[in-house]
Amino acid sequence: MDRDALRALQAPLKESYKTDPDKALITLKAAGTLGEGISCSVDTGRAIANAGLHPATGGDGTLLCSGDMLLEALVACAGVTLGAVSTSLGIQVDGGRVHAEGDLDFRGTLAVDREAPVGFSDIRLSFELDTDADDEQLASLLKLTERYCVVLQTLSRGPKLDVKLERSGAAV
């Protein structure tokens, strides 16, 4: 897709959101079903992703790790955002790779050490691009990709979370 096609695609959406901001507010949803052993099947809309314990917490490595899935979501969002931003700016990117890695201390999640954090302590995101763009263009590309990447911004801001547990009525 080129810049003009992207702008033509997004122009009516942008105008609609300017005139009626409520149209821009949506709720994305995800659901999973508890599975055999210690697992959860998540319906992605395209396939079922079966998640389980990471090998560092006792898993056998046959199921997806939700920590990996979080990093994969970051990579996917950052890659799509970078593609949209480069297209919008007219910066030719002929290919590339997006990498995310995060540091975990499994003593926290296994309750081995109450002082050890549960979750990622550090996440690093990087891009390797096949492009002839100059340093100024690349700086703009990175800045705008960071600004508009939904997953990156969500992780960096820490959204308000509401967690609840309900009985389904199936248990006796």
pLDDT per residue as tens digits for the range 43-96: 988 889 999 999 999 999 999 999 999 999 999 999 999 999 999 999 999 999
Asked whether the beta carbons of 88 and 79 are under 8 A apart, the reply is no
Q: Are residues 47 and 117 in the same domain?
A: no
d(CA 146, CA 122): 16
Of 64, 87, 113, the domain-final residue: 64
State the pLDDT at residue 172. Answer: 53
What are 89-147's pLDDT values in tens digits? 999 999 999 999 999 999 999 999 999 999 999 999 999 999 999 999 999 999 999 99
Cα dihedral 164, 166, 168, 170 sign: positive
CATH at residue 132: 3.30.300.20
Backbone angles phi, psi at 152, to 5 degrees: -60, -45
State the pLDDT at residue 46. Answer: 87
- Return the amino acid letter for 110: L
- The number of domains in the chain is 2
Tell me which residue range forms the domain holding 58: 30-64
Q: Are residues 43 and 84 in the same domain?
A: no
Asked whether residue 9 is domain-assigned, the answer is no
> E strands, the chain, where?
32-34, 39-43, 48-52, 93-104, 120-131
Read off the pTM: 0.90
